Chains A and B, each alone.
Chain A
Amino acid sequence: RKEVEQDPGPFNVPEGATVAFNCTYSNSASQSFFWYRQDCRKEPKLLMSVYSSGNEDGRFTAQLNRASQYISLLIRDSKLSDSATYLCVVNKAGGYNKLIFGAGTRLAVHP
C-alpha cells in the first residue's frame, strides 16, 4: 500500500466549476500536510499547508481529518490557469522535511 494515495484523475471541469480532491495517508504519526502544485515539466510548488482546523486561501480550501487520515483540497470558481497536477504531500513523522508525495491528481479546466 502506498503511503499517500490520491485519485490520479484526470478531472476535466469547465471554468467556474468547483472541484474537490481527496488524499489518504497511511502513517498515523505523520505531522505535517501540504498540497503542492506541479505544472507540466516544472518543479513542484507549495500551494498551501493543511491544518487540522482547516484553512482557506482565496479560492482554495484545505482540510485535514486526522482520525480518518484524510486530506482534501477544494477549488472554487476554477480558472484555466488552475490546470495542473495537484500533489498531496505528507511530512514523514520525525523526519526533517522528508516529504512523502502522492502520485498526484491531474486537473484540466476547459473554457
Chain B
Amino acid sequence: EAGVTQFPSHSVIEKGQTVTLRCDPISGHDNLYWYRRVMGKEIKFLLHFVKESKQDESGMPNNRFLAERTGGTYSTLKVQPAELEDSGVYFCASSRQGSRSGANVLTFGAGSRLTVL
C-alpha cells in the first residue's frame, strides 16, 4: 500500500508570494488531516477533512490559508500571501475511518518544508 505522499518536499518562496502544497492520502482513507510544525515548536493541528467536507478547521491560523479537497481524494493547502512566520514543515496525515476514541491510527506523510524569505 502506497503511503501518504506530499509535494513539494521543500519550497522556498519570498514573503508575499503564494505557495500550494499537495497531499495524496492513502487510497480509501476518507479522513485527511493537515498539521504544521514551526521552528522550535510542537506539531499543531490545522484541519480535518472527511471526504470532501471540512470536519474541523479550528487550527487554521488565519484567512491566508485555504485548504481544499475536491472530490474527496487529494488535498491542497494554499498560503496566500505567505508571511515569514508561515515557515515550517506541513504534514499531511490520513486515516481510514473517523473515531472519536482516536483509536484509528494516522499515517503521516513525509511533510512539505516551507521556507519564506
Contact = CB atoms under 8 A, between A and B. Distances in A.
Contacts of B45: 92, 98-100
Interface stretch (A10-18, A39-47, A59-67, A69-77): A39-47
6 contacts: A31-B102, A44-B91, A96-B99, A98-B45, A101-B35, A103-B42
A43 B59 CA distance: 19
Interface in B46-104: 48, 50, 55-56, 59, 91, 93, 95, 98-104
A32 interface: yes
A104 B44 CA distance: 13
Contacts, number: 67
A46 B107 CA distance: 8
Contact of B108 (A2, A44, A92, A100): A44
Given A43-B91, A43-B111, A45-B108, A96 B100 contact: yes
Chief secondary structure at chain B's binding surface:
loop
A97 B31 CA distance: 9
Interface of B: 31, 33, 35, 41-45, 48, 50, 55-56, 59, 91, 93, 95, 98-106, 108-111
Contacts of A104: 42
A55 interface: no
Nearest to A44: B108
A68 to B, nearest CB: 20
B98 A97 contact: yes
Give 8 nearest A-B pairs by CB, closest first.
Answer: A91-B102, A32-B102, A43-B108, A101-B43, A103-B42, A96-B98, A101-B42, A43-B110
Given A43-B91, A91-B101, A95-B56, 10 more contacts: A31-B102, A95-B100, A96-B31, A96-B100, A97-B33, A97-B48, A97-B95, A99-B35, A99-B45, A103-B41
A102 B42 contact: yes
Contacts of B50: 96
A46 B98 contact: no
Nearest to A2: B42
